[in-house]
Chain A
Amino acid sequence: MSRVDPAVLILSIAVVAWRCFEVWKGAHQASRRWHIRTAVWWSLLLLAIDLILLVVAVLVAVLTSDATRAQVLTAPDTRTVAPLAAAAVAAAVRHVPWRVDGRRTSLQQYVLAQIEQACYDKADEWIYRVVYPAVTGAQVKPFLNAIRGYLESQPGAQGSLDASYVGKFVAPGRSPSREDLRAACHRMLARSGRRRLFELVERGMTTVEPRHRAPAAHSTDVDLG
């Protein structure tokens, strides 16, 4: 039985580190509405595919007899085949499309969608439990205006689109419903505004100004009265 080749070991560690980063990046994006820890188990599932295949590949390399190794893995560049092959197979497993409920999806897309849904459900739970009792009646419009102010202050065209979306809820002559409130909260959460939304709910509408607002540009947008 042979020992693990240092080159294989280093490459395996590099592959694991790269996969950890990639999985974290995907999970971070998918879980932007809520805590990233909501995504932990799904992220570990994605990572497990790489780890299992990598361990199998390295074990095969280690358990292969010296004679076979000498024949197959003599040149330095061929020693790294096992971890790279494992990474390639894992990528194929993650990205190969299959059918779920009649639509084509890959394991990666499915897991990221599950993370997004889990975070949506957690956020929804919080909105029902905390926002609905805290923001009622006459407070709804100012609250929505504050959300609109936050979204407007976000950089890029998306900020304007989001603000105009929430602006529809507070159009003159329209009284926003609970569903409007819920949709606005979700839009804010989707734009990484969780902490800001917590502040708005906790401190009450009379004391909070949108943090990143330009001083004069949106001076009439937020009605805190």
Chain B
Amino acid sequence: MPNVKIVDAMESRVLEALSRSKLALDATQVAERASVLPADADAALNSLVRKDIVVRVSGHRKDRGLRYVAK
């Protein structure tokens, strides 16, 4: 059976915005590109990380939040 990971509409928007980017993005950048609220983008990104669809990239400057990249 294929390993299908279910994503909701918000996660799908966030994932699409992340996939279009050539670089790792922080949650605000993702929110802006997906036209969703930053809090929603943050929640969707965390959920996608838990589902192993998105990778959390550490080492972002100062304490401005982590960056994310689609697998």
Contacts and interface: CB of A to CB of B under 8 A. Distances in A.
Interface residues of B, number: 18
A187 B32 CA distance: 7
Contacts of B64: 124, 128
Interface residues of A, number: 27
B39 interface: yes
Contact of B37 (A100, A105, A169): A169
A103 interface: yes
Interface in B14-39: 21-24, 27-29, 31-32, 35, 37-39
A109 B21 CA distance: 10
B38 A110 contact: no
Nearest to B31: A183
A105 B22 contact: yes
Contact of B69 (A101, A120, A165): A101
A77 interface: no
A147 to B, nearest CB: 13
B61 interface: yes
Contacts of B21: 113
A161 interface: yes
Interface stretch (A61-69, A174-182, A192-200): A174-182
Contacts of B42: 179
A177 B39 contact: yes
A120 B35 CA distance: 17
A180 B28 CA distance: 8
Interface string A87-116: 000000000000011110100011001101
Given A124-B64, A187-B32, A179 B38 contact: yes
Contacts of B61: 121
B25 to A, nearest CB: 9
A182 B22 contact: no
B23 A183 contact: no
A110 to B, nearest CB: 6
Given A124-B64, A179-B28, A187-B32, A114 B23 contact: yes
A124 B29 CA distance: 10
B38 A120 contact: no
A54 interface: no
14 contacts: A101-B69, A103-B22, A105-B22, A109-B22, A110-B22, A113-B22, A113-B23, A117-B23, A161-B35, A177-B39, A183-B37, A186-B28, A186-B29, A187-B32
